[in-house]
Amino acid sequence: MGSLPDLLPPLRYPSARRDDSVVDDYHGVLVPDPYRWLEDPDAEEVKEFVEMQVELTDSVLAQCGERERLRRRITELYDHPRYGTPFKRGSKYFYFHNSGLQAQSVLYVQNELEGKAEVLLDPNTLSEDGTVALTMLAVREDGKYLAYGLSENGSDWVTIKVMSIEDKQCQPDTLSWVKFSTISWTHDGKGFFYSRYPAPKERVGLDVGTKTNINLNQELYYHFLGTDQLEDILCWKDPEHPKYKFGVYVTEDGKYVLLYISEDCDPVNKLYYFDLSLLPHGLEHLLHFKGVSETLPFVKLVDNFEAQYAAVANDDSEFTFITNKGAPRYKLVRVDLKEPQLWTEVLPEDEKAVLKSAEAVNGNQLLVSYLLDVKYVLQIRDLRTGQLLHNLPVDIGSICGISGRRENSEVFFSFTSFLTPGIIYRCNLATEVPEMKIFREATVPGFDRIAFEVKQHFFSSKDGTKIPMFIVSKKNIELDGSHPTLVYGYGGFSCSLTPYFSVSRIVLIRSLGVVFCTANIRGGGEYGEEWHKSGSLAKKQNCFDDFIAAAEFLISTGYTNPKSLCIEGGSNGGLLVAACINQRPDLFGCALAHVGVMDMLRFHKFTIGHAWTSDYGCSDNEEEFQWLIKYSPLHNVKRPWERSAEQHCQYPSTMLLTADHDDRVVPLHSLKLLATMQYLLCTSLESKPQTNPIIARIERKAGHGFGCPTQKLIDEAADRYSFMAKMLGVSWID
């Protein structure tokens, strides 16, 4: 293990202007914000700052000796066929396929599962560099038309287009200003529901993916096939609640349209419905309501934000929902719209496992998935009674991409794990005992799973809470405290980190001797809503305590040591990493923070940031400001003498990763933290600057990570992990 001066020469950091006149008053507390100017992505000064940081990072990466070897090896393993779970509409099957190194996966269609598949839509033909992605789609019930959403450069903004499936001809329909929307066709085939935001006043030459404007006043529309967007029918709006978002679902029988209303990221929603049979001539008949109501006259079934409701099935007016109402681990309930006060329980909340999904299939059966100690359980149950019919055998890993309908006796689902690249199962429910067969299986060249092992440990956090963690390594490693170790975490928004296959991490384990770990800290959904709530709002510090305890466990049990330990996380996980290096800089040798929420006092002012107040709180509230100021990464960077005696040390080598078209967590978060860390830690004249580098990798023509082209994924993995290898003093193992 080399010391840093042997690894890199001293770095010359760009000088970023500090405007000390910018000071905000939060409930009587004055908080400086000297890098407020970095919030304007169009300012020339910001562009110059970014260019200088790109040059600095390029100079560091050029000295990371394993960079090209990592890129080549990751590319070799990435180059294998991958398939998405097939789904059926009408008489046709649809699925995604990537031959290996294609920038974007291609949508295929076939008349029979064993028949010839044809390319339906290839996003790779829509841009030279693969930065146009197919991010949403809905096939009409008869399988004749496809509505799909395209995103450019990783932005959350989507343009909806329509294609005729038979002749694969693109239709003139073009719907703009779509974001955080669903697409749901009505069964008469005349059109579909979708949600969009008001168009900006200035549109010419506008690159919306780089804008930070707050997203407000979403509206629900119905689009008639073959018409101009200006003719779309406004179906719902709520100007008194500009933060509301609207999702819509047309039931499988085509009779009802359900409106899901949410305000933030909490798993709660209002639920309204409309009986489409009241419009005998289709949505055109809505015009008859004009003068009586400006929008579709939805009936309010649930008109508060007490719980989450999602439809599983309906038989005419009788609906089955999955909900967390009085059930933090979720349950199934039933209600008849004719008697909306009478709710009955179909499948009670499990004592230990979290009900993750329920799909109505094969007439009156349910395919349900549970999460038990971060391991999936898959079952067939009776839709009417909830009674268990069959357990489906699945390995330790993750179930995703479940595809099935009540009208069909076959279902498909995908399985992955740390050591399983991907298996698609086809299950026949028409037999007395479900017949489950492998439909497709991914094979990675040169990967031999028997060379690796996966263990699950439960360690104690600061308050004694037991936290699960998966550890993936080569088989039978010696616990002598010498292993380079990478710990990944998230801990927020009720999102669960379950096992999945990663080519880049397999390369790290095999070729760099890395031990890879996933810490299932509080704030996630691994144990239901109680687990989530115990890591949010006033209890957010539990997330950082859990992650720090994970690192301490790995050190105390002999896996690694602080100089050999790297932590990584993205988005809310980027916040996690940044907060932890502020609180325990002595515990880590390297940190990789992707697209993190770093300014906890102003995040709600940009794009969709206001929706995150459900997990974080908001600085506009005095009590919540006091929570946020204590851990906000931007406001807690401290020089060595400002910390406790045992933490009079450098910060770990740190790479902040962001992208110029990230309009989810806008780049200003990472840029402001970067400028702050470089000034206080690396260029301050008041003390000897630290020698561990603080740099940023700023991707062009990319966003929050969704729809990123394959080559960009490979390049980023090679860059960040070669940086990690250099900082930890790790060499290639043949």
Active site residues: 571, 662, 704
Element (H, E) at 69: helix 67-78
User: Which of 299, 352, 354, 363 is CA-nearest to residue 322?
Assistant: 354
> HEC string of 625-680?
HHHHHHHCHHHCCCCHHHCCHHHCCCCCEEEEEEECCCCCCCCHHHHHHHHHHHHH
Please write down the long-range contacts of 550-556, taking CB distance under 8 Å and 24 or more positions apart. Answer: 550/459, 550/467, 550/469, 550/487, 550/489, 550/517, 550/519, 550/521, 551/487, 551/584, 551/587, 551/588, 552/587, 553/457, 553/459, 553/469, 554/471, 554/485, 554/487, 554/515, 554/517, 555/481, 555/587
Dump strand ranges (E) for 29-84: 29-32, 82-83
Query: Which amino acid, one-letter code, is at 183?
Result: I
The CA distances from residue 576 to 24, 172, 334, 612, 653, in Å, are 25, 45, 39, 15, 16
The CA distances from residue 630 to 538, 619, 626, 633, in Å, are 11, 12, 7, 9
The first and second tokens of residue 693, run together, are 């580098």
Query: Which amino acid, one-letter code, is at 3?
Result: S
Contact 491, 511 (CB under 8 A): no
User: Residue for token digits 């510090």?
Assistant: 541
Query: Which amino acid, one-letter code, is at 424?
Result: I
User: Residue for token digits 């009505």?
Assistant: 186
What is the spatial distance between Cα 677 and Cα 675, in angstroms, rounded to a whole number? Answer: 6
The CA distances from residue 136 to 150, 161, 178, 181, 706, in Å, are 7, 10, 11, 9, 11
Contact 426, 83 (CB under 8 A): no
**Residues recorded for the chain:** 734
User: Which of 471, 479, 463, 606 is CA-nearest to residue 544?
Assistant: 463
The first and second tokens of residue 587, run together, are 């515990």
Q: Calculate the dihedral angle through the C-alpha atoms of 375, 380, 383, 385, rounding to the nearest 10 degrees.
A: -90
DSSP state of 180: S
DSSP state of 84: P
What is the spatial distance between Cα 653 and Cα 673, in angstroms, rounded to a whole number? Answer: 14
**Count of other CB atoms within 10 angstroms of residue 11:** 17
The CA distances from residue 607 to 179, 216, 393, 720, in Å, are 11, 8, 43, 27
φ, ψ of residue 468 to 5 degrees: the values are -80, 150
Half-sphere exposure of residue 45: CA atoms within 13 angstroms, side-chain side: 11
Contact 151, 132 (CB under 8 A): yes
